[in-house]
Structure 1
Amino acid sequence: MSAQPEPALLHSEEEEALRAAVRDLLTDHCDPAGVLTRTETAAPHDVSLWKALADSMGLAGLLIPEELGGQGATHREAAVVVEELGRAVAPVPYLTSAVVATEALLACGADELLGELASARTVAVLAVGLHVAPGGAVPGVRLEKGALHGELTGIADASVADMLLVPGDDGDLYAVRAADATVTPHVSLDLTRPLARVTLDGAPGRRLGAAEPAVRRALRAGAGLLASEQLGLADWLLTETVRYLKERKQFNRQVGGFQALKHRLARLWLEVAGLRAAARSAADALATGADTDVAVAVAQAYAARVAVHAAEEALQLHGGIGMTWEHPVHLYLKRAKADSIAYGAAGTHRAALADLVDLRAP
């Protein structure tokens, strides 16, 4: 039996150039003060930033084939974009529309809708609760006389969607215009990725294909690339905390010079390095199809703890800087906590991994 190729964990020159371009755009259009201000309004999504990402750079169609108007790139490139968006805790529907919804449409062969997503004319959202893991139970709405009826909760970015991809109780996936549904925002922990309740009362839907394989593929891609977002969060938090501790002085000494804090930062650096390898492996597995389920489960079994730990350490080590609400660290903590249950909690992925490698607990 031939050996499987080792995952390519190093970034190519093209991927590094993409990273630099996205980071430059976010530096100009997504500063921490602006994100903080936006979360205190009734419109947390940054529409202008989304337009810049989608129109100017064509990133909305990154995973869509070129013949449909997309970029024809792989999950490796998408992971670079998601990581940078995580570093900026950017309030845009990239993961939900350009990754999760796109994967569902690719599974269904919905070329027309994919063309709309690639051209940035449409934002699509998979109407499945953000907490649902790949392979988890997915509630479907009732199909009566060709119309859809029911309620779905915990739908991320539904408030900015033009199209909802809704599982029906007949086993099929339907495209529903957001204008034909009632979208009610939830009070959510993460103000940069708001959740909503979607109510359908006789909404017309266009049948796309079988729901189960499409939803499973979409959620697996979402879980795999979510690890890159968590990496971006953790990396920004570590970098910013080190910078702050180098500047702040106590008893006429740099706070970063205290041995106890050095130990905490060193431990966090090792955790972030491990997460970088796990996230990169998941992205490469999604791109190549090699041991994808295992790589995604490994990444998500590890990523949440690291991102949350990085946010907690940053919050504590920034102590004394002022009111927590005035510093962006609290946004990263909330995103990290919300991400810890998105597309399945770590325990769910550990259980899935145990089944995949046949190492179940006794």
Structure 2
Amino acid sequence: MVDTMNEDELLARTAAEIAGKCQGDTHDSCWKALTDTGFSALRDVGDGGDPMATVTQTALVVTELSKVVCGAPLIGSLLAAEALRLADAEVDEPATVVLGSGLGSLGGSVGWDTASLTHAVTLDNAELALVKLGDPVEAGDFTRGVAERGDLVRGLGAGLRESQLRHWQDFARLLVTADLLGAAEGLFTQAVEYAKQRVQFGRAIGSFQAVQHILARAFTELEAIRSTLAHAAHAIDTGEDPHTAAAVAKAYASEAAVSVVEASIQVFGGVAITWEFPAHLHLRRVVADAALFGTADDLYGLLHDELEGAGR
């Protein structure tokens, strides 16, 4: 039988297989698999100066990994690679990024998505620099590494123009939207299976209308996240101005993903609020992601101000 899967489907399937290697408390095996397959280099410069993969393809991989709330530093390394590509700079060490106040901008004091990495790219006085990562920092998301910014290694002799910073932030919002989608979808899928199997009053709880309504609403929210994400990724890939699309996608996902996870927890009932069950990891991930690169209120306010400024 001929395999008719296209390249995007193969990417997603491979990413799902790697996600299956995630151990929860350690991410060495899945991170090695990501580097071995080249997924950690998806936004590195390829032939002709373009990235190795499209933004749409990159979002597919991020979504699959986040379904198991994988803590391998994929997003951080992709954000570092995007900044380096835009600035036409290079580093020899695997690196993540340093984020600023509120974890919304490149440059600051917090190394984000660090896992086993030891270096990060940051922006100092409009110039990119490579720094060491310092001691780990406690964070609400147990699965994603955060660390103090360490000593400067070297300046990279290149900076980012305002338009490039804007592109980088749009890209960052898009990847976090993909992470929100995956984390919410991963727990939702488990909740659907649980509703089919859990028997109460002699019937599977999924046969109860109240449970069906909870899951139906969560499903529509997931599909809306997926749609806004796809639109924003397409806007970047085709050279359209993605700013509004990326902000809308991130703003909507910041609220909807939390809603989906909370609905899934409601379907699971009491088991979902135990430490041993993974639901709290999904909830921690989406709550933390919701605050990255602008909360929903921040982004809706930003868009409102920009529309007013444009006279619309």
TM-score in same-fold range (> 0.5): yes
Question: Structure 1's 139 and 16: CA in aligned 2 closer, same or farther, altered over 3 A?
Answer: closer
- Determine if contact 2:172/2:293 at 8 Å carries over to the other structure: yes
Q: Which residue of 2 aligns with 1:236?
A: 186
Q: Which amino acid counterpart does residue 23 of structure 1 have in structure 2?
A: A
Specify which of 6, 18, 21 is matched with residue 11 of structure 2: 18
User: What is the alpha-carbon distance in structure 1 between the residues aligned to residue 178 and residue 58 of structure 2?
Assistant: 9
Question: Structure 1's 355 and 69: CA in aligned 2 closer, same or farther, altered over 3 A?
Answer: closer
Q: Which range moved further: 317-326 or 17-26? A: 317-326
- Determine if contact 1:82/1:95 at 8 Å carries over to the other structure: yes
Question: Structure 1's 156 and 139: CA in aligned 2 closer, same or farther, altered over 3 A?
Answer: closer
Q: Which residue of 1 aligns with 2:29?
A: 48
Q: Which range moved further: 265-274 or 229-238? A: 229-238
- Determine if contact 2:76/2:114 at 8 Å carries over to the other structure: no
User: What is the alpha-carbon distance in structure 1 between the residues aligned to residue 99 and residue 257 of structure 2?
Assistant: 24
Say yes or no: does 1:174 pair with 2:129.
Answer: yes
Q: Which residue of 1 aligns with 2:240?
A: 290
Computed over aligned residues only, the root mean square deviation of the Cα atoms, in angstroms, reads 2.6
Question: Structure 1's 306 and 350: CA in aligned 2 closer, same or farther, altered over 3 A?
Answer: same
Q: Which residue of 2 aligns with 1:127?
A: 98
Aligned length: 307
User: In structure 2, the residue corresponding to 1:160 is in which secondary structure?
Assistant: coil
Question: Structure 1's 162 and 68: CA in aligned 2 closer, same or farther, altered over 3 A?
Answer: farther
Q: Which runs of at least 4 in structure 1 moved beyond 6 Å after TM superposition?
A: 68-71
Say yes or no: does 1:187 pair with 2:138.
Answer: yes
The alpha carbon displacement at 1:139 in A equals 5.9
Q: Which residue of 2 aligns with 1:5?
A: none
User: What is the alpha-carbon distance in structure 2 between the residues aligned to residue 276 and residue 130 of structure 1?
Assistant: 28
- Determine if contact 2:18/2:65 at 8 Å carries over to the other structure: no
User: What is the alpha-carbon distance in structure 1 between the residues aligned to residue 301 and residue 171 of structure 2?
Assistant: 18
Where do residues 262-281 of structure 1 align in structure 2 (5 Å cutoff)? Answer: 262-281=212-231
Specify which of 48, 55, 58 is matched with residue 38 of structure 2: 58
The alpha carbon displacement at 1:210 in A equals 2.2
Q: Cα deviations across residues 226-265 of structure 1 (Å, max 9, x unaligned)?
A: 1111111222222111110111111112111111111111
Question: Structure 1's 216 and 184: CA in aligned 2 closer, same or farther, altered over 3 A?
Answer: farther
Question: Structure 1's 268 and 331: CA in aligned 2 closer, same or farther, altered over 3 A?
Answer: same
Gaps of 5+ in 2: none
Q: Which residue of 2 aligns with 1:342?
A: 292
Identity %: 32
User: What is the alpha-carbon distance in structure 2 between the residues aligned to residue 227 and residue 157 of structure 1?
Assistant: 15
TM-score, with length taken from structure 2: 0.89
Higher relative contact order (CA 8 A, sep 6+): 1
Gaps of 5+ in 1: 1-11, 39-43, 117-121, 141-151
